[in-house]
């Protein structure tokens, strides 16, 4: 039992040593601490916390002499860069998601064969709370497999609901249609707190999305990337409820016309043309 516990809670390098009959060469990163905003709980939003990273990469042997050439090996910077890039891409809720993305990015490197990633939160309690994953080449789901993405959408910033169904009729045959709502006409409640104002604005945009969907049965309200991807592939009329992606991806909101800014972001993120505006 003692040896099992030592292996389970030891550095991932110990795990890699015990998991193959003939371990490969390894590159490791130990106790790399970074501050980031992460977490699914409301109390974790808007505040940074310390994350501790331990990573071991097993690398394929270099058959020819590498002549002390740094370009021939997998650099330590590859590991730290993967952490920085994935923390900066989107706001992430789960350590599992972060570990998976880091492993996937490292396994893009031609020298990498297998990677152990352990990520721990250091500020959520008296101890470290974390996850550890193991991925090998061909196991991680990568975007380089040749799978095609969803079709490019036609994005529309909807500033008015007048003639909504007729306008949908005019565009529905051309491309998957994404309608991005704007704020309703009545003034929103005021708050001097920026976080509260952001939430109030998002709630109002969500209400506009559902109001729009109630005017035409073809409209489907979606809020997550998975839902959006499926709806684009099946060419449904999407009404985007933006709260989740705005909060997760740290998308800026323009207080005077947030719908226009969100339509531009959506078109860029999902490879659509410059958005139209219905006003």
pLDDT of residue 52: 95
From the list 180, 174, 146, 179, the residue with the least C-alpha distance to 257 is 180
- For residue 123, pLDDT beyond 70: yes
Mean pLDDT, residues 60-75: 64
pLDDT tens across 220-273, in order? 999 888 788 888 988 899 999 999 888 877 777 776 678 888 999 899 888 888
Helix (H/G/I), strand (E/B), else coil: 39? coil
Please state, for a pLDDT cut of 90, what percent of the chain lies above it: 37
pLDDT of residue 78: 86
- Placement of tokens 């590859």 in the chain: 78
Provide CB contacts within 8 A for 100, sequence distance 6+.
133, 135, 140
pLDDT tens across 46-60, in order? 889 999 999 999 888
Q: Which residue has the higher pLDDT, 151 or 20?
A: 151
Q: How confident is the model at residue 130 (pLDDT cuts 50, 70, 90)?
A: very high
Q: How confident is the model at residue 70 (pLDDT cuts 50, 70, 90)?
A: low
pTM above 0.75, yes or no: no
Q: Which residue has the higher pLDDT, 22 or 232?
A: 232
Q: First and final CA of the chain: distance in angstroms?
A: 69
- For residue 154, pLDDT beyond 90: yes
At 32, list the tokens.
Answer: 């790399």
Provide CB contacts within 8 A for 59, sequence distance 6+.
24, 25, 26, 27, 73, 74, 111, 112, 113
Residues pairing with 115 in the sheet:
57, 135
pLDDT of residue 6: 56
Across all residues in the chain, what is the average pLDDT?
Answer: 83
**CATH code given to domain 8-136:** 3.30.1130.10
Lowest mean pLDDT segment, chosen from 123-127, 131-135, 220-224: 123-127
- Placement of tokens 């959520």 in the chain: 124
Please state, for a pLDDT cut of 70, what percent of the chain lies above it: 84
- For residue 156, pLDDT beyond 90: yes
pLDDT of residue 270: 87
- Placement of tokens 């007048």 in the chain: 162
Angle at the Cα of 269 from the Cα atoms of 98 and 279, rounded to 5 degrees: 140
- For residue 89, pLDDT beyond 80: no
pLDDT of residue 142: 45
- Rounded Cα gap, residues 98 and 192, in angstroms: 33
Q: Which part of the chain has CATH 3.30.1130.10?
A: 8-136
- For residue 65, pLDDT beyond 90: no
Containing 151, the helix (H) or strand (E) segment is none
Q: How confident is the model at residue 144 (pLDDT cuts 50, 70, 90)?
A: very low
Phi-psi region of 235 (alpha: psi -120 to 50; beta: other; left: phi over 0): left
Q: Which residue has the higher pLDDT, 91 or 30?
A: 30
Mean pLDDT, residues 103-126: 90
At 88, list the tokens.
Answer: 């900066």
DSSP assignments along 227-238, one per residue: HHHHHHHTT-EE
Q: How confident is the model at residue 194 (pLDDT cuts 50, 70, 90)?
A: confident
Mean pLDDT, residues 151-172: 93
């Amino acid at each position: 039992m003692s040896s099992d516990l030592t292996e389970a809670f030891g550095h991932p390098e110990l795990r890699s040593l015990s998991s193959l009959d003939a371990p490969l060469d390894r590159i490791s990163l130990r106790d790399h601490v970074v501050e980031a905003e992460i977490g699914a709980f409301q109390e974790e939003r808007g505040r940074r916390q310390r994350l501790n990273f331990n990573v071991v990469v097993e690398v394929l042997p270099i058959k020819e002499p590498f002549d002390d050439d740094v370009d021939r090996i997998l650099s330590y910077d590859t590991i730290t860069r993967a952490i920085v890039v994935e923390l900066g891409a989107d706001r992430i809720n789960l350590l599992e998601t972060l570990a998976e993305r880091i492993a996937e990015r490292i396994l893009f490197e031609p020298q990498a064969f297998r990677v152990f990633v352990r990520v721990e939160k250091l500020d959520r309690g008296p101890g470290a709370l974390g996850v550890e994953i193991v991925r090998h080449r061909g196991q991680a789901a990568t975007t380089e497999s040749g799978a095609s993405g969803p079709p490019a959408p036609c994005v529309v910033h909807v500033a008015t609901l007048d003639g909504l169904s007729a306008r949908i009729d005019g565009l529905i045959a051309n491309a998957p249609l994404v309608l991005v709502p704007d704020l309703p006409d009545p003034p929103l409640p005021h708050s001097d707190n920026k976080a509260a104002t952001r939430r109030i604005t998002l709630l109002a945009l969500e209400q506009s999305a559902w109001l729009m969907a109630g005017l035409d049965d073809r409209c489907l309200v979606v809020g997550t990337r998975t839902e959006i991807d499926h709806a684009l592939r099946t060419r449904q009329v999407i009404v985007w409820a933006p709260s989740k992606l705005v909060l997760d991806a740290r998308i800026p909101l323009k207080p005077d016309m947030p719908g226009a800014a969100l339509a531009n972001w959506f078109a860029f993120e999902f490879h659509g043309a410059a958005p139209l505006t219905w006003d």
